[in-house]
Structures are given as structure tokens and as C-alpha cells.
Structure 1
Amino acid sequence: MNYQAIAFFDLDGTLLDQNSRITPEVADAMLALKENHVLPVIATGRTEIEILDIRQAAHIDSNIVMNGGYIRVDGEEIYSDLIEKPQIERLYHAVLDHGDQLSYYNEGAIWCTGHSEDLIGAYTFIHSKIPPIDPLGFQNKPVNMLLVLGRENRDFYEAEFPEFDFYRNTPYSMDTVKKGVSKGAAIKILRETTGLSHLPTFGFGDGPNDKALLQACDTKIAMGNAGDELKEMADFVTKKNTEGGIIHALKHFQLI
């Protein structure tokens, strides 16, 4: 398709409603975007298997997942960044020593070290399935992203593991990626790899891991339910995700 712009959407608190679902109105808006030659791209901390139903409901075939660790455009994989096994093993031991749990992610699977109250809380929070237990599965399966499950110890992990970035996106968990991996970095990779660097970009987000997303886009849009830091850097603050914020912003910028 002859695209004329790209729109990047976070999921939870942004494209999704309070039940982590795509509303019919948002689905229609995504179809209208495509008819207007705008490429819609999901940009999320989740991985692909968690969002297949969401992508189908939203009529979207492109995604940046695992906070930038993996990119697919128009159904085709264009980028996959893997975490090295020695880095994972060191974090694995530290997580268990501190009474936390660890989840492992690639584009096709999620598994974890064990089921704790915080782990169950984290996946319940985003209405996602509890992953199976396979503590040492990282030794024979690729890993793009990790999830530290625990409400404490962020200062410890950031001090002891400078090779990682930690994003707390639920009260129970921290998305964990290699230093420098982010939604923003992935946007640059996507644009350069697809030859779409010349197109204007619009970024929509609400959470801490959306800061890099907005920074990488020409037009920065914060949801009405976003934190103050994101709102301050935004070009436009739309309504809350539960109040039609996506459609309101798309109409404001005449994208639909």
C-alpha cells in the first residue's frame, strides 16, 4: 500500500478499553485509517501470542512487541533482538534469591519460573493467561524480553543489572529488556528497514514505557489517563481511553 503516514498505538490504557478489548468504534477507526493510507502499528510490552485476538479485532497486521524486541510489518517479521543466555542466567538467580519470579518471552511463547501471588496478579491485571512453568527453558529457547514479577527490589535490579532497562507497567511486574531496546528505538528501525522514514508519524500512549514511543514520533499524543510526565511532553492530550480518546485524537489530526 502507498502509505502516507504511520500511527503507533500502545495497548493497555490506550487502544484498549477497561476490559483490555478493542471496541467496535476503535475497530472501525483502524479500518478508516487504512483506507486513508495510514499504517496502524501496535506498540506494546506484550508479545505476539498475547495480542493475536486484539490484532484481528483491530484489523492491524503490524506490531512492535516486547517493548521493541520484535517487529512485524504487514505480516512479515523484520526484526528480532535476543537476550544472551549468560545475562538471563545471572538475572534468573538474582530474581529467585530475592523471592521474586521471572517470565520469559519470545514472539511465540511465554513461560515462567513459578506461580506466585504477584505473577498471578500481573497477568490478571492485563487479562492475560497465566504462563506455564519452565524455569530453565531459556537454555534452549530464544528470549526477547523478560518480566520480573515482584512489587519490591526495583532499586536493587537497576543497580545490579545496568545491562537491562526495567519498566514497571503493573503494580506486580517490571518489563525487562536489553539496555537501549525500547518502543522508540524500534520505531526508528521499522522506518529505516521499510523505507518509510520520510512519512509523518503519530504516537499514542499512556504509560512510562511510552515515553520513548512518543519521543520517536513527530506528533506526540498522550491519553487523558496518562501520567503527568507523558502529558507534559505531548503535543496533544486527548480524552481517556474509556472516553473515546483514540477516535477523538484521530479526528483532531484529520487522520480519519
Structure 2
Amino acid sequence: MTNRSVIFFDIDGTLLNHDKELPNSTKDAVFKLKELGHEVAIATGRAPFMFEQLRKELEIDTYISYNGQYVVLNGSELYTNPLNIHSLEKLTAEALENDHPVVFMDHEDMRANVQEHEYITESIGTLKIDMFPSIDPHYYKGRDLYQTLLFCTEGEERQYAQQYDAFDFIRWHPVAVDVLPKGGSKAKGIQKVVEKLGFSEDSIFAFGDGLNDREMLQTVKNSVAMGNAEEEIKEVAKYITKSVDEDGILHGLKMVGLL
């Protein structure tokens, strides 16, 4: 076909339902897109090692991980945007004093700075992945980190946001916050991919549901919010499809004319 498009899918609440299951209709739709000649990619806040099995199941090797900080195109690293380590070291020390543990994350692994903590167990457990961070309080030294998890209750992250202007703080769980490089987003990761692939803005589509999808859905011309999305996310999207549990991906792809 001549009218090829590239479609970016968020994972949690978009490709996967709230039980972290991939609906059959979604899997079938992804493979149909590829049969039609479209490019299919993932855009997620997760680390690459947190969705490796999903990539294999869907045969997807282009992805934006860590909300845009680590981007891979056709299996090869395309773009990285690591955290400022000096600022991270200061934040970690302050967080430790406040009994707010952190988990350091690069493209291969994640390590906690404390032995165990109920907030880490509670929030990581909701991801339903087959791994848990081991302890290494100095994991940030001598390597690039693309995201850090800060564990604190809602509102407590404000004290850090006011002090550390090198970072953005995005909450994804009642006791967990993503710490990202300032201004980093899925939208910037998408820009790197489409520049390399040469797609026009009319041929770019994105599906998402969470707060970390805001910039992506605001920036991509053909943006689709899931029916289960936050209301403020629905407001910035061009289209709204059904919930992930109501074959929302399939419905949305038909709605925008891709299937």
C-alpha cells in the first residue's frame, strides 16, 4: 500500500487491560495493521525489560520507553536522554532522610537504594512483571539512568519538584512517582522515530490513557484516548474510543480508518 502510517500504542490501560492482559481483539488488530503495511510501535513509561514478552508476542521491535528517554528503532538504539546524575544524587540523599525510597533504572535493570519497603512492594506488584528490584544504593554511579522511581504518598512529591528543576515528576501510583529528565516525554521520542522513518504528521497515530500520555496525545495529530482514560486526557485527544476492556483498540483503529 502507498498510504502507510505509523501507530504508537501505550501499554498499561491501552494495549493491556487492568488485569495486565492483552485482549485477543487487540492482538489481532496489531497484526492486521502490519499485514496492511503499517508501522506499529510502543510508547510507554515502562522500562524495556518490563515489556519484553509483550514485544515478542506482538513482534514489535520499535519502541519508546521510559516516557521518551530510551528509544529503539527496529531493534537498535536510536535516542537516549539520561537523568542528571549530580541532581539525582542530591535528591536520593534527601529522599532517604524522608523515608522515601528510590529505584534506579537503566535500559537493562532496576535497583533499589533500600533493602525493602512496603511502597515498593505495593506499586511494583501492580505491574505484574516477573522481576523485582534488588538492592544497590550506588547503582547510579558510572552509568546512564533514564528514570528513577520515587516512592511517596500523593502530594509529597511537590517538595522535590520545587527544588529539582532538572526533573519532571509524574505520578503513576498512589505511592509511586516517575522521575524523568525535565521536558522529556513520549512526544519527543515519537519525534525521533518519525524523523528517521520519514512519516508526515497526517500519517502518525497514537493511543493512550494516562497522565504520561498527555504530551503525546496533544502533539500527535491523530491522537486517540481510550474510553478508560483520565478525563483530562480525553480533553486533549482528537478521538475517544471505547475502553480497553470493550475492544477499544480495534474500535479506535476502525474509527480513524486504519482498519
Q: Which residue of 2 aligns with 1:25?
A: 25
| Contact kept in structure 2, 1:219 and 1:235, CA below 8 Å | yes
Match of 2:173 among 160, 170, 174: 170
Superposed, which structure 2 residues align to 1:4-15 within 5 Å? 4-15=4-15
Report if the CA contact (8 A) 1:22-1:58 is conserved.
no
Give the 5 Å matches for 1:186-197. 186-197=189-200
1:90 matched residue in structure 2: 90
Structure 2 partner of 1:134: 136
| Cross-structure match for 2:152 | 150
**Structure 1 unaligned regions, length at least 5:** none
The answer to whether the 8 A contact 1:6-1:199 is kept is no
Please, what is the CA RMSD of the aligned residues? 1.7
Return the letter of the residue paired with 2:214: K
Q: Give the AA of the match of 2:219.
A: A
- Provide structure 2 residue ranges, at least 5 long, that are not aligned to the other structure: none
Q: Is the 8 A contact 1:43 1:183 kept in 2?
A: yes
Q: Is the 8 A contact 1:183 1:212 kept in 2?
A: yes
Partners of 2:25 and 2:144 lie apart in 1 by 37
Aligned positions of 1:171-210 closer than 5 A: 171-197=174-200, 200-210=203-213
TM-score (norm 1): 0.95
CA-to-partner distance for each residue in 1:168-215, whole Å, 9 max, x for gaps? 011121111111111011111221233334661111111111001112
The one-letter amino acid of 1:46's match is R
1:2 Cα deviation from its structure 2 partner? 7.6
Normalised TM-score (structure 2)? 0.94
**Aligned runs of 1:217-236 on 2, under 5 Å?**
217-236=220-239
Q: In structure 1, how many angstroms separate the alpha carbons of the residues matched to 2:93 and 2:248?
A: 42
- Secondary structure of residue in 2 paired with 1:95: helix
Q: Deviations over 1:52-84 (max 9, x none)?
A: 001112221111000111111121211111223
**TM-superposition CA deviations, 1:15-45 (whole Å, max 9, x none):** 1022213233211111111112221111111
Q: Which amino acid aligns with 2:47?
A: T
One-letter code of the match for 2:56? Q
Q: Quick check: 1:241 aligned with 2:232?
A: no
Contact 2:84 2:166 in 1 (8 A): no
Aligned mates of 2:203, 2:3 — CA distance in 1: 10
The aligned counterpart of 1:76 is 76
Check if 1:253 corresponds to 2:259.
no
Q: Secondary structure at the match of 1:139?
A: coil
Counterpart contact for 1:106–1:143, Cα < 8 Å = yes
Letter in 2 for 1:164: F
* Residue of structure 2 in register with 1:45 after alignment: 45
Q: Give the Cα–Cα distance (whole angstroms) in 2 for the partners of residues 119 and 151 of structure 1.
A: 12
Number of residues of Structure 1 aligned to a counterpart in Structure 2: 256
